[in-house]
């Protein structure tokens, strides 16, 4: 007989056999520990007839699904004041003389149905987490270059999670789909970040008192 099979169910036994007493099993929850993505439930199982204790550890819990979305700012225009505050705090020194109110007013232009200009926002579990924009020009000293990636920003609590790269790639895909050949940007301190995403350095310049790196990407050669 297969040692893993029996001729009768656990609720039956042959006539004439000694009575087989089914032990009572008592489960007492001991503790619940959450570590990383695992939830381990540890219990003490006590067989009241044999006084034998066995510890049971259950497997990993089903991970919670997180919602992450990139949408056009035109779908949630009420986010403009928050974005404007973030951008103003981050880059006010690159836009001397511009007030927060002026920035908010300027961002109304992103609500049209045109690709340029437009802003894309990243939502994490319904919370605003970051932004990236495509605009006609971002350096008045380089009017011949267009269009530009701009306003790439991730809120501090969401950084180091790859959100910035997702936003940049999204703008690149949108620009590529529109049939545009190149995209430009300038950055004071994130040239290495953009280089990993396929951008190349065009020049090092001083712009409005800051040393910046001018970069570009050729979209017909770029693959996501």
| 164: number of Cβ within 10 Å | 23
Q: Per-residue pLDDT tens for 89-105?
A: 999 999 999 999 999 99
Closest CA to 45 of 58, 33, 35: 58
The single residue listed with the structure tokens 């910046």 is: 212
pLDDT at 40: 38
Q: Which domains does the chain have, with CATH numbers?
A: 25-57 (no CATH), 68-221 (3.40.630.30)
Q: What is the pLDDT of residue 191?
A: 97
Q: Using alpha carbons only, what angle is made at residue 185 by residues 182 and 187, rounded to the nearest 5 degrees?
A: 155
Residue 5 CA: distances (Å) to CA of 9, 15, 163: 10, 19, 54
Query: Residues 136-154: pLDDT tens digits?
Result: 999 999 999 999 999 999 9
- Predicted confidence band of residue 220 (pLDDT cuts 50, 70, 90): confident
């Amino acid at each position: 007989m297969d040692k893993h099979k029996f001729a009768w169910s656990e609720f039956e036994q042959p006539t004439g056999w000694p009575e087989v007493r089914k032990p009572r099993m008592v489960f007492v929850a001991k503790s619940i520990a959450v570590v990383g993505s695992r939830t381990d439930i540890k219990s003490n199982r006590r067989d009241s007839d044999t006084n034998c204790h066995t510890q049971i550890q259950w497997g990993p819990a089903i991970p919670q699904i997180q919602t992450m979305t990139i949408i056009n700012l035109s779908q949630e225009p009420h986010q403009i004041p928050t974005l404007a505050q973030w951008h103003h705090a981050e880059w006010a020194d690159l836009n001397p003389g511009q007030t927060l109110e002026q920035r908010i007013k300027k961002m109304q232009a992103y609500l049209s149905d045109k690709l340029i200009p437009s802003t894309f926002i990243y939502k994490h579990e319904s919370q605003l987490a970051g932004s990236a924009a495509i605009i006609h020009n971002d350096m008045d000293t380089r009017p011949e270059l267009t269009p530009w990636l701009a306003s790439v920003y991730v809120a501090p609590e969401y950084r180091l999670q790859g959100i910035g790269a997702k936003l940049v790639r999204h703008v690149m895909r949108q620009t590529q789909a529109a049939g545009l050949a190149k995209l430009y940007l300038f950055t004071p301190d994130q040239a290495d970040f953009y280089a990993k995403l396929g951008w190349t350095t065009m020049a090092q310049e001083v712009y409005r008192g800051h040393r910046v790196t001018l970069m570009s990407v050729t979209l017909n050669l770029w693959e996501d």
